[in-house]
Amino acid sequence: MTREERYEFILGHFRNTLPNVTTELQFGSAFQLLVATLLSAQCTDKRVNQVTPALFAKYPDAESMAKAEEEDILEYIRSVSYPNSKAKHLVAMARMLVSDFGNEVPSDIKQLTLLPGVGRKTANVIQAVWFGKATMAVDTHVYRVSHRMGLVPKSANTPLKVENYLMKHIPEKDIPDAHHWLLLHGRYICKSMSPMCDSCPFNDICPKLMEGSKLG
């Protein structure tokens, strides 16, 4: 099977089985999605969803969070990974949104990545999920699945290279969903340590390229 045929098979399966897919993070606004996505770095969505209801009840928007101190935010997010660093970023991010962007989350990737704690992956998530843009956020799951299933060549050895390759080979209309398809497949089937190949719908066509598939 060629790589192009593999793309068509895999994307066709996801179109049929997961036509209405989105992030598992819980949020009620662009700002809350941005906060939740920042908190999800090296942390599970399940854990983030456990802390954000109380956090958002107290700080529902950038204006309210901008008035908080790091210690205030830390009280709500202690159970996530790297809470001190994330509390610092959240306060600084909220203050920049208020001072530089009129309390609104920008849609432009260059402006998004000016915000403290917001890298390309987080910016791509915001663009795709909230603004509906054709962007491909590459996290550890997307990186791993793309390599293991042979969707990208071995030379695509950075998140940006994987992103660029996927963007060239996935139809534009599928790109916002494809991030979630690959992420969820990596989270629940093609796991890092114990991939569930026997339960995988792609078991028969997957080249299982394990070497070099892990990010970092």
pLDDT of residue 210: 83
With 80 as the cut, is the pLDDT of residue 216 above it? no
When pLDDT is cut at 50, 70 and 90, the band that residue 211 belongs to is: confident
Contact 27, 14 (CB under 8 A): no
Could you tell me the domains of the chain?
A: 3-21+136-199 (1.10.1670.10), 30-129 (1.10.340.30)
Of residues 42, 25, 198, 3, the one with CA closest to residue 128: 25
The model's pLDDT over 70-108, given as tens digits with 9 standing for 90+, comes to 999 999 999 999 999 999 999 999 999 999 999 999 999
With 70 as the cut, is the pLDDT of residue 215 above it? no
144 Cβ partners below 8 Å, 6+ apart? 186, 190, 192, 213, 214, 215
Question: What's the pTM?
Answer: 0.88
The model's pLDDT over 117-162, given as tens digits with 9 standing for 90+, comes to 999 999 999 999 999 999 999 999 999 999 999 999 999 999 999 9
For residues 31-50, average pLDDT: 95
109 Cβ partners below 8 Å, 6+ apart? 120, 123, 124, 127, 135
Rg (CA), the chain: 18
Question: What is the rounded distance in angstroms from the CA atom of residue 153 to the CA atom of residue 88?
Answer: 38
With 80 as the cut, is the pLDDT of residue 213 above it? no
Annotated catalytic residues are 121, 139
With 70 as the cut, is the pLDDT of residue 171 above it? yes
pLDDT of residue 7: 96
- Burial of 131-158, coded b for 16+ CB within 10 Å and e otherwise, reads eeeebbbbbbbbbbbbbbbbbbeeebee
pLDDT of residue 209: 87
Question: What is the rounded distance in angstroms from the CA atom of residue 48 to the CA atom of residue 101?
Answer: 26
